[in-house]
Structure 1
Amino acid sequence: MPWETVFSFANLWALPFWLLLTFAPRSELTGRIILFGGIAPLAFVYAVLLPLIMSGAVDPVGPENAPADFTTLAGVMALFDSEGGTTIGWMHYLAFDLFVGLWVARNADRYGFGRFVQVPILFFVLMAGPLGLALYLLLRLTVKNPPENAELPS
């Protein structure tokens, strides 16, 4: 299967789970559907493809480049020089951003933030994961958990 197809399929796979997360009534069932129907398959495919990419068995990095590894900037750049490496890197973002979005939404519900506040934060988690997480943590710290009582969100 061409990498462009895998990339497009992964994007399409994640989208309905983001819509569920954002607009569906929050329940234990909704959370499980997002976790096991959306996040888990993306993580599983990533886990299967990562060793194949890293070993060069699938979509090897060209011999003129540094070997793909996570210990050097050149190694990470080599990984993203291949279509397969970029695709699984994107799947990593999709899975983790959706996981963070699920955590943010559940935590925001717990602390009484309505959807009006959650939707923009979830948008930023979707589009720029760590920025959305930082916005939510800042909101939590300043509104629902003042600095003198701050603790790690649960």
Structure 2
Amino acid sequence: MSWDALFVLTNAIAFAGWAALALLPRGPKVSALVLYLGVGLLCLAYTAMFIALFGGLADPQRLPGLPPPDLGDYSVDGLRAFFMSDGGIVIGWTHYLAFDLFVGQWIAKDADNKGFSRIAQVPFLFVTLMAGPIGLLAWLVVRERRARAAARTE
């Protein structure tokens, strides 16, 4: 499978997970669907790509003339060398997709448990989809007020 095809496939899996979070009724079946068929498949794809790339089983399709990446060089230059290939971009993007969807599911569950309506959750889920850490930070700020209020009433 080409890197372009893997990119399209991982995006489709992530989109289906986000759509389920935003549109389907939340319950154990939908939660399992998002976790295992969304996050789990993305993690499996990431693992397969990781093994293929670092095991020399797949051509990363590096830009011509670039040396192979040195995984021991954990610096800006070292990481740039890794990501300057189709394989590096797709594996990095899959990493983002998996973790952002996992965080989105946690936000949705936490928001449900704290009594936030689905409409109130959508902006946090959207920002998490588009810019993961910003969405998570926004949710942490907003949830804190509700969590403190709930703790006072207990």
Q: Same fold (TM over 0.5)?
A: yes
| Other-structure match for 1:100 | 103
The secondary structure found in structure 1 opposite 2:34 is helix
TM-score (norm 2): 0.86
| Other-structure match for 1:110 | 113
- In the alignment, residue 95 of structure 1 is paired with which amino acid? A
1:82-112 deviations in Å (ceiling 9; x for gaps): 1011101111111111000000000010011
- In the alignment, residue 13 of structure 1 is paired with which amino acid? I
Cα distance change, pair 73–136 in 1 and its aligned pair in 2 (3 A): same
Kindly report which structure 2 residues correspond to 1:55-134, keeping only aligned pairs within 5 A, or say none: 55-60=55-60, 61=62, 63-64=66-67, 66-69=69-72, 71-134=74-137
- In the alignment, residue 88 of structure 2 is paired with which amino acid? G
| Other-structure match for 2:143 | 140
Q: Take 1:83 and 1:32, find their aligned partners in 2: how far apart are those partners? A: 31
**Residues 42 and 97 of structure 2 are in contact (CA less than 8 Å); yes or no, is this contact kept in structure 1?**
yes
Name the count of aligned residue pairs. 147
Deviation above 4 Å: which 4+ runs of structure 1? 60-63
2:7 equivalent to 1:4: no
1:108-139 deviations in Å (ceiling 9; x for gaps): 10011111210000000100111100000010
| Other-structure match for 1:31 | 31
Q: Take 2:23 and 2:42, find their aligned partners in 1: how far apart are those partners? A: 21
**Residues 114 and 147 of structure 2 are in contact (CA less than 8 Å); yes or no, is this contact kept in structure 1?**
no
Give the deviation of 1:69 after TM superposition: 4.9
Instruction: Using the aligned pairs only, state the percent identity.
Output: 39
| Other-structure match for 1:52 | 52
Unaligned ranges ≥5, structure 1 = 150-154
**Residues 68 and 77 of structure 1 are in contact (CA less than 8 Å); yes or no, is this contact kept in structure 2?**
no
Cα distance change, pair 99–126 in 1 and its aligned pair in 2 (3 A): same
Cα distance change, pair 35–59 in 1 and its aligned pair in 2 (3 A): same
TM-score (norm 1): 0.86
Q: Provide the alpha-carbon RMSD of the alignment.
A: 2.0
